[in-house]
């Protein structure tokens, strides 16, 4: 995506081929700054402090972190130390484990003289694949937004509600939930986006609003609790959110507050879509409420807030009484029966049961998430040409 006319990804290998550049997301929307990581510790601190955040980007950042570690010491022992250092940073987004497992498994057979080169090559590949996957998610999701536009007889913009930031800043480029929005907007479909502010880190107000604004997409920031009211008054045509971990049965962990939006959507007959790359699926678990680890972050993120003062200084102030304890749960789980469809790079998966929003047969496959996920995991199946056909016997 472009920032003031210059194309950017959220993470890249610098020209020195020995350090990694990232956009510092803790400084947005008031400052646009790039930082340089030279060590695995830089990468781990960057993920933990949310300099980079968003499930797919956390995965790519961990891969680059492993490459930085190998540059320092490419031995087997350090490979495991780097894995452990990065793995401890954030617990919920499964893309972290996915990328670390892929790096470790690929790098272990190399002898240590060749390992650093192989590590950088794989990290670059993971980042490039993420761009392609998110672009494909955008193409598939654009079709759903196009249907919504037909349903309003092309008479007005399609109103879409999103929560947190699942845009290009949360991935390497394009985004997950915002990719269909960018693709539909670029194709000339009129769109308006309701942006949940997303307390306490305000990824909606700070990041989603910033990136939609830079792309020219009409949007309005709302408080987190406004969505239900808007849906009751017919002001939301569909919701699209991202995911940090989706179980093999289709339960979805995403930013805290997502579950309440899904409940309101179901109560008001509004389609609730979740966009995710296949790397966000945790094949090892079925029950998201029971088994997905939910990150608890520092209470100060809740008791204090930062913003730009009139003189341009960025300041942090306290919001709550000094003695009031605060609990900062960062994610929640939306059970699969509240999800109208999962939009992946390999296909759109609609629930067989409980979906009251019929979607076009040419774009949508109807089946249980578990069944389709098993097929997605097997490279001999092409999902979007129809799960009924296995192209190579």
Minimum distance of ligand MRU from residue 390's CB (angstroms): 30
- Give percent helix, percent strand, percent coil of the chain, each to the nearest 5: 40, 20, 40
Cβ–Cβ under 8 Å, residues 176 and 208: no
What CA–CA distance (Å, rounded) separates 1 from 182? 10
Give the residue closest to ligand MRU by C-beta. 242
Beta-bridge partner residues of 219 = 193
Q: Which of 89, 116, 147, 203 binds ligand MRU (CB under 6 A)?
A: 203
- Whichever of 53 and 266 has its CB closer to ligand MRU, that residue is 53
**Which residue in 46, 54, 180, 369 binds ligand MRU (CB under 6 A)?**
54
Near ligand MRU by CB under 6 A, which window of 166-174, 181-189, 321-329, 361-369?
A: 166-174
Cα 94–84–277 angle (5° rounding)?
20
When asked if residue 255 is in the footprint of ligand MRU (CB under 6 A), the reply is: yes
Q: Strand pairing of 281-282 and 245-247?
A: parallel
Question: Which position among 119, 137, 164, 172 is part of the footprint of ligand MRU (CB under 6 A)?
Answer: 164
Q: Which of 68, 166, 348, 383 binds ligand MRU (CB under 6 A)?
A: 166
Give the 3-state secondary structure of residue 298. coil
For position 55 contacting ligand MRU by CB under 6 A, the verdict is yes
- Regarding 343 and contact with ligand MRU (CB under 6 A), the answer is no
Count residues contacting ligand MRU (CB under 6 A)?
17
244 is catalytic: yes
254 binds ligand MRU (CB under 6 A): yes
Q: Give CA–CA dist 384/346, Å, rounded.
A: 7
Which position among 196, 224, 237, 244 bears the catalytic label? 244
DSSP codes of every residue in 311-357 = TS-EEEEE-S-TT----EE-EEEE-GGG-SEEE-SS-EEE-SSS--S
Which residues are part of the catalytic machinery?
A: 244
Residues lying near ligand MRU in the complex (CB under 6 A) are found at: 53-56, 93, 164, 166, 170-171, 176, 203, 242-244, 254-255, 330
């Amino acid at each position: 995506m472009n920032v003031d006319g210059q194309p950017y990804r959220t993470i890249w290998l610098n020209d020195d081929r020995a350090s990694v550049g990232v956009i510092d997301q803790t400084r947005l929307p008031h400052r646009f700054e790039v930082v340089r990581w030279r060590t695995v510790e830089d990468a781990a601190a960057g993920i933990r402090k949310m300099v980079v955040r968003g499930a797919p980007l956390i995965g790519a950042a961990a891969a680059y972190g492993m490459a930085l570690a190998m540059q320092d010491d490419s031995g087997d022992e350090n490979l495991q130390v780097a894995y452990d250092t990065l793995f401890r940073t954030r617990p919920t987004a499964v893309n972290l484990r996915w990328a670390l497992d892929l790096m470790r498994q690929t790098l272990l057979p190399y002898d240590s003289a060749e390992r650093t080169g192989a590590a950088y090559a794989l990290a670059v590949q993971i980042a490039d694949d993420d761009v392609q996957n998110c672009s494909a998610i955008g193409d598939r999701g654009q079709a759903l937004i196009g249907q919504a536009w037909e349903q309003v007889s092309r008479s007005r913009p399609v109103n879409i509600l999103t929560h947190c930031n699942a845009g290009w800043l949360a991935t390497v480029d394009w985004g997950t939930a915002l990719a269909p929005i960018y693709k539909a907007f670029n194709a000339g479909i009129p769109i308006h986006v309701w942006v949940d502010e997303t307390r306490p880190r305000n990824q909606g107000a700070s990041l989603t609003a910033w990136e939609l604004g830079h792309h020219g997409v009409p949007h309005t920031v709302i408080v987190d609790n406004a969505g239900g009211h808007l849906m009751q008054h017919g002001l939301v045509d569909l919701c699209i959110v991202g995911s940090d971990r989706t179980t093999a049965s289709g339960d979805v962990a995403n930013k805290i507050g997502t579950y309440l939006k899904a409940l309101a959507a179901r109560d008001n007959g509004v389609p609730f879509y979740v966009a995710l790359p296949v790397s966000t699926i945790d094949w090892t678990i079925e029950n998201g409420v029971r088994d997905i680890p939910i990150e608890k972050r520092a209470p100060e993120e809740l008791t204090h807030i930062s913003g730009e003062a009139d003189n341009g200084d960025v300041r942090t102030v306290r919001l709550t009484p000094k003695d009031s304890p605060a609990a900062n749960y960062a994610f929640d789980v939306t059970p699969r029966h509240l999800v109208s469809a999962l939009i992946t790079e390999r296909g759109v998966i609609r629930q067989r049961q409980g979906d009251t929003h019929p979607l076009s047969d040419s774009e949508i496959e109807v089946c249980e998430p578990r069944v389709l996920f098993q097929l997605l995991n097997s490279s001999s199946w092409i999902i979007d040409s129809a799960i009924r056909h296995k192209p190579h016997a």
